[in-house]
A and B are shown apart, each in its own frame.
Chain A
Amino acid sequence: MGWLDYVWMGVLAVFQGPELINLMGLPIPVTLAMIAAGFLLGIAVGATPGLAGPMAMAIALPILISVFGFSPDALLPVFGFLIGIMKGATIGGAVPAILFNTPGTPDAYMTTLDGYPMTQAGQARKALRVAHFSSASGDTFSDIVLILCAPFLAVLVERYLDLPEKTALLILSLAFIAAVIGGSVGKGLISLGLGLLAAYVGTGEDFYPRLSMGTQTLAQGFPIAAVVLGVLIIGEVFKSLEDLWSEARNRRSPRPPITQSGDQRLRWTDIRRLLPFVARSAVIGTAIGALPGIGSTLAATLGYTTGNTRHARSGARPRFGEGAPEGIAATEAANSSVSGANLIPVLSLGIPGNAAAVFLILAADTIGGFNPGPSVFRFTGDVVNPELVIAFGLFTCMMIANLLNWTIGGAFMRSMGFMSRIPKQILLPVVLLLTLTSIYVQETRMAAIWFAIGFGVLGYLMRRLGMSPLPFVIAFILGAKLEETARQAFAATGGDPFFLVSSPIAALFMVLTVGVILRSTRKSKDLPT
């Protein structure tokens, strides 16, 4: 079985999977339909301030699993839908940023800086076209890098890293995530430690479920859906509800409509002018996305700042911040190119780097039959490695989503302006009920709902205290894996207590870990979350 066979089987797995309907003799594979549905839903969700891609992924997951079941056949349609949401939300976020000066997703904040001035100048549709073109370019570039890099990285990891090195690499990744998210390494470490602690309740090797305080409720540990959705989504809902509660006294009056005029098309000359900005930002975004935990907001900031420096030097008008299409291009290309590259650590190391990747892992974990990590890329002899077929199927899904993005994405995105009129005080309570219900149908016990609300309060407190919840979630997901790998490394080395430093590669990872933390404590630069 050569690698080309696997690529081909992956493509076939998408196109020859079970068919949804037969349209005049043309079978429509269900995976294809799911990618398209997820993509359109993602644009709508991204265009709605207060909703975000991860929320839609979280709520869709139990429904998807009920539809497709727990067989390996379910993996590609479910992944396709989730990837569609991920990509759709990325471009959708620019819509309210440009039209109403309210970013639909946090990483679209920089888009408001030039997008809204263009709207005020009567160039809204052109601004949306610039955002779509840059976003789709960045996204496609990032996916190509992912497809080229992840398999090779994974093969290297499997060939050269033994159990002790894998343990050290997990520790390094966690420390890195804690250090770079949120600009405060201390708070990052607290968040990380709490996440690990939550992962260790009820688990363990011995028959007594540790840290369960003798109760049956804690003996099975915290359900993963309750923790992840609690901290990431319910916490965010609580915080936004409070913002509305505090604002309730002084509501703003609606803005007067702005008349649109002039040439709204994106001309070839425009594209030539924007391309350097798109290219630079795509490289920045991809590089940042490949490191776990940094995320698209920093990429957007860096892309915008770099673009701004170049633009200012050239002296062209309008300047960044005054309605320059280049500003939108620099931001959107950077934040969109994070999403593909973010799957590099997921597929080659099994380490999720952002919320979207967390949900892909959650889906794989619930359905079973696919364990994201280096073992996926095992090119076997005679027996087909089904996980590898799924991996290439996943890549195919991403490229199909890109194709949709280039063809129908722009027009659909431009029609989504009305989504931002849905009032948040109605949207958020409904999202909360939806989330709690989706947790219950997965866990079928009220205790799971109470856990979710408890972790929601934790997520709320973390946000109010300026502590990023992402290290918590990633540590919770990796906690069990870290402990298992460490146990196995310890046992496999015959009980060597210094297994983390006794091989050169492991020792190097540990030195880097200490280095990352020390460096971040010294650095006084405040990174945006």
Chain B
Amino acid sequence: MRAGKANLALGLGAALLALIVALIWVPMDTSTGMIEKMRRQTNVGDALAPTLAAAFILIGGVLVAMLERPETARRLSAGNLSFLLQLLGILALSLAVMRWLGPAVAELLTDTGYRPLRDTAPWKHLGFLAGGTALVAGLIALAERRLSWRGLLIGAAAALALIAIYDLPFDSLLLPPNGDV
């Protein structure tokens, strides 16, 4: 029965999402309706396609809730969610380092700030190296359930290797975060 309930929950969830999209989001966030009259010619408006997409989700949801065989049912466990939270935490932290470390250090040490330096080594590599190392080391630690020097070394090596692949040979490629600053 638990499996059947999982399908019911997924199906109804999808159907609810579809209804929200079709009845609230699409009408409020498109500027032309389903069918538009323009220059005496009728045209398809911008609301039609997303509404159709919502219709597919709705039909799928109803099928899953009503007709689906219980053996195809899968549900998320508390363990799944806890893993996902830890994972996203590590990613958010390391990407924040990647984005802001360079500008922060430049703000402290120079008068000009980061922008004029965004194409100058070692400034342009600072955030990527630190953030990339943190990302790889953090995820290795997550998978092995322990923090290790080996993980940090592998992270730094990976980030350096990527700098060598993308940045050294190609003038027109920008590593994160140098396109944003």
Contact = CB atoms under 8 A, between A and B. Distances in A.
Q: Do chains A and B touch in the complex (CB under 8 A)?
A: yes
A241 B69 contact: no
Contacts of A466: 72-74
A197 B14 contact: no
From B18, B46, B138, residue with most partner A Cβ within 10 Å: B46
Secondary structure class of chain B's binding surface, majority of residues: helix
A491 interface: yes
A365 interface: no
B130 interface: no
A189 B66 CA distance: 14
Nearest to B170: A66
A200 B49 contact: yes
Given A186-B61, A465-B74, A200 B50 contact: yes
A161 interface: no
Given A211-B50, A432-B135, A434-B162, A445 B72 contact: no
B165 interface: yes
A441 B175 contact: yes
Secondary structure class of chain A's binding surface, majority of residues: helix
Contact of A211 (B26, B45, B137, B169): B26
A194 to B, nearest CB: 6
B42 interface: yes
Interface string B140-170: 1011110000000011001100100110011
A521 interface: yes
B64 A184 contact: yes
Contacts of A204: 30, 32, 46, 49
B110 interface: no
B162 A183 contact: no
From B31, B88, B143, B179, residue with most partner A Cβ within 10 Å: B143
A184 B84 CA distance: 25
Contact of A461 (B43, B45, B76): B76
Contacts of A437: 128, 132, 162, 166, 175-176
Given A426-B140, A429-B140, A445-B179, A189 B57 contact: yes
Interface string A478-499: 0100110011001100110100
Contact of B176 (A192, A193, A446, A479): A446
B111 interface: no
A493 to B, nearest CB: 11
Contacts of A149: none
Interface in A144-200: 178, 183-194, 196-197, 199-200
A503 interface: no
A241 B87 contact: yes
A490 B36 CA distance: 12
Q: How many residues of A sit at the interface, in one of the four size bands?
A: 35 or more
A441 B166 contact: yes
Interface string A221-249: 00000000000000000100110111011
A130 to B, nearest CB: 34
A197 B50 contact: yes
A183 B72 contact: yes
Interface string A55-94: 0000000110011000000000000000000000000000
A204 B26 CA distance: 12
B145 A197 contact: no
A370 B81 CA distance: 43
A453 interface: yes
A406 interface: no
B46 A206 contact: yes
24 contacts: A62-B173, A184-B64, A186-B68, A189-B60, A190-B56, A190-B57, A197-B57, A204-B46, A205-B32, A206-B30, A208-B46, A210-B31, A244-B143, A245-B83, A248-B144, A429-B138, A429-B140, A430-B154, A440-B176, A441-B166, A441-B175, A453-B88, A464-B74, A491-B41
Q: Please give me the 10 A-B residue pairs with the lowest Cβ-Cβ distance, nearest first.
A: A444-B179, A189-B60, A193-B56, A186-B63, A193-B57, A186-B64, A429-B139, A196-B53, A190-B60, A425-B143
Interface of B: 10-11, 14, 18, 21, 25-26, 29-32, 35, 41-47, 49-50, 52-65, 67-69, 71-76, 79-80, 83-84, 87-88, 91, 95, 99, 128, 132, 135-140, 142-145, 154-155, 158-159, 162, 165-166, 169-170, 172-180
Given A242-B83, A487-B43, 17 more contacts: A67-B170, A185-B63, A186-B64, A206-B32, A210-B29, A213-B29, A241-B87, A425-B143, A428-B143, A429-B138, A434-B158, A444-B178, A444-B180, A445-B180, A465-B76, A491-B43, A495-B43
